[in-house]
Chains A and B, each alone.
Chain A
Amino acid sequence: MKVLMKGNEAISEAAIQAGCTAFFGYPITPQNEIPEYMSAKMEKAGGVFIQAESEVGAINMVYGAAAAGVRTMTTSSSPGIALKQEGISYLCGANLPCVIANVARCGPGLGGILPGQSDYFQATRGGGNGDYYTPVYAPATVQEAWDMVFESFDIADKYRTPVQILLDGMLGQMMEPVEMKVHPRLNIDKPWATNGNADKRPRNTITSLSLFGEVLEAMNLQRFKVYEEIEKNETAVENTVKEGDTVAIVAYGAPSRIVRNAIDELRAEGINAALIRPITLWPYPYDTFQDLPKSVKHILVAELSMGQMVEDVRLGVNGKYPVHFYGRTGGVVFEPGEIANKVREIMGKPAKPLASGQKQMTDSNLKGGI
């Protein structure tokens, strides 16, 4: 039986079902339902919930719990995730598994509480100091958010890395039916954990510090070998482009749903547009852009930012197609008609009036993003 749930609630319950026993959070809109849910349910599930004194406190509690070998999570929204970057860098440096969900809002700074996708660079390019990546999952439906939580905990344990789930306020706040399927979890030994051993084994130390150049370099090289494995095994994309399609629109997360409406509208008037939806943002599905059907002439990137993912699409496209961009920021969400109009412009067709009364962005508005 399906249950109607908010994205935030789905992430919370899925985490408990996936065996997360330590949640540390701090309030911020639009992710407040997660700590609220955890405060009500985590203790009953036999786990620990702490409302930390700050985001920095929460991420360092995650560090401690992960070091002790338990499944642990923190969540926040954009400015709060910015505060956690030091901790995320340390978690990566210490090879500690955990899950971090970012229910993103618009920025920069405190920005606003409405949806945004302008944390793409922060999520996919490290974000803190040092050489590191974290796998980044981008759900587009509440069901997918539910399922990805299970996958994220498994991936975190399997590769000993923090995993980020990047959604936006829209998906966090919206409700959809969820099949609350409890996926079997990866059970993996954590012989490295600092969980007390009564002197039965050599002492484990968890640290990101190493003062010897060659030792630290060897650790970094090893970490990048793991990244290579993650890139090889875990890259995920939904590619709906078929022979005969002329425009591929690249979008991720909840905004990709709006693009689907635009695609329906365009196809009804004979413009063959189709969606490429990256499911993992790191590792990024670069190869997809080298294997597109011959009929494809244009790529359009649509995101709620000034064009951050455009960089990855360009890397994938590698000069093969012209890459166009359409975006809104500040919490303004593009309507399907805006995306459709951008494609019409690319195809040399006249624009149509927008149903919502929103103003169409022009290339000169978005200059710098493309």
Chain B
Amino acid sequence: MTRMVFSGFGGQGVLVLGEIVATIAMHKGKEVTWMPSYGPEMRGGTANCSVIVADTAIGSPIVQSDIDILCAMNGASVDKFLPRVKPGGLVLVNSTIVTQKVDRDDVEVLEINATDIAGQVGNLRVANMVMLAGFLKKTDLFTLDDITTVLKQRFAGARSQDLIPLNIRAIEIGMGE
């Protein structure tokens, strides 16, 4: 079982990011749950979602502790969730926004310059997708092809077709870092 939290400012796309990871895992035949924090939140506020991927039926969909993978898009997310990551867990940090030191030596930390890279490809909104590079580098949950398949489904409307190569390029730059 892999217990994940995706967290950041509202508007950074953490809910969509978690949904994409959950969708990929579902296509791979896994049991999955996706649970948003759906309190009174807004753009610029905080948002997070819990994603669980497992081989057997999932009980509680809420991940508040024993986090295997934390994907933190802003500093507040690091403050809130870092203490709840399991020893040996993985912490993916958007280092463009997160300025503080990730202060734990019993977890693996990967810094990804996500917002900067998104700026490089010309669309700040793909910063969330850049974080997927961390999954590709540090886990065997899915491949770049899996991501492409899900993006093709998501952007099935003709109007947004050009977003697929944009997203993939952002992820590839993230992997090259």
Which residues of A are interface residues toward B (Cβ below 8 A)? 2, 4, 29-30, 113-114, 169-170, 173-177, 254, 257-261, 264, 333, 335-336, 355-356
| Interchain residue pairs A-B with the least CB separation, the first 6 | A355-B65, A260-B59, A175-B34, A261-B59, A356-B64, A258-B60
Q: Is the CB of B66 within 8 A of A257?
A: no
29 sampled A-B residue pairs with Cβ under 8 A? A2-B26, A4-B32, A4-B34, A113-B38, A113-B39, A113-B40, A114-B38, A169-B38, A170-B61, A170-B62, A173-B35, A173-B36, A174-B33, A174-B35, A175-B33, A175-B34, A175-B35, A176-B32, A176-B34, A176-B61, A177-B26, A177-B32, A257-B58, A259-B59, A260-B60, A261-B60, A264-B59, A335-B64, A356-B65
Which residues of B are interface residues toward A (Cβ below 8 A)? 19, 22-23, 26, 31-36, 38-40, 58-62, 64-66, 84
CA distance A4 to B25 in the complex (A): 10
From A29, A175, A264, name the one whose CB has the most chain B CB atoms within 10 angstroms.
A175
CA distance A356 to B34 in the complex (A): 19
**Which residue of B has the minimal Cβ distance to A257?**
B59
Contacts of A355 in B (CB 8 A): 64-66, 84
A-B contact count (CB 8 A): 66
**Which residue of B has the minimal Cβ distance to A30?**
B38
Contacts of B38 in A (CB 8 A): 29-30, 113-114, 169, 173
Q: Is the CB of A336 within 8 A of B36?
A: no
CA distance A258 to B65 in the complex (A): 13
Contacts of A254 in B (CB 8 A): 61
Nearest-Cβ distance from residue B15 to partner chain A, whole angstroms: 10
From A2, A176, A259, name the one whose CB has the most chain B CB atoms within 10 angstroms.
A176
Nearest-Cβ distance from residue B156 to partner chain A, whole angstroms: 13
Contacts of A336 in B (CB 8 A): 59-60
Partner of B35, one of A113, A170, A356: A170
Contacts of B22 in A (CB 8 A): 4, 175
Nearest-Cβ distance from residue A224 to partner chain B, whole angstroms: 38
Q: Contacts A113-B38, A169-B38, A257-B58 given: A175-B19 contact, CB under 8 Å?
A: yes
Contacts of B31 in A (CB 8 A): 177
Q: Is the CB of B26 within 8 A of A4?
A: yes
From A169, A177, A254, A355, name the one whose CB has the most chain B CB atoms within 10 angstroms.
A177
Contacts of A4 in B (CB 8 A): 19, 22-23, 26, 32, 34
Contacts of B66 in A (CB 8 A): 355
Nearest-Cβ distance from residue B160 to partner chain A, whole angstroms: 17
Nearest-Cβ distance from residue B67 to partner chain A, whole angstroms: 10
Contacts of A257 in B (CB 8 A): 58-61
CA distance A260 to B59 in the complex (A): 6
Contacts of B26 in A (CB 8 A): 2, 4, 177
**Which residue of B has the minimal Cβ distance to A173?**
B38
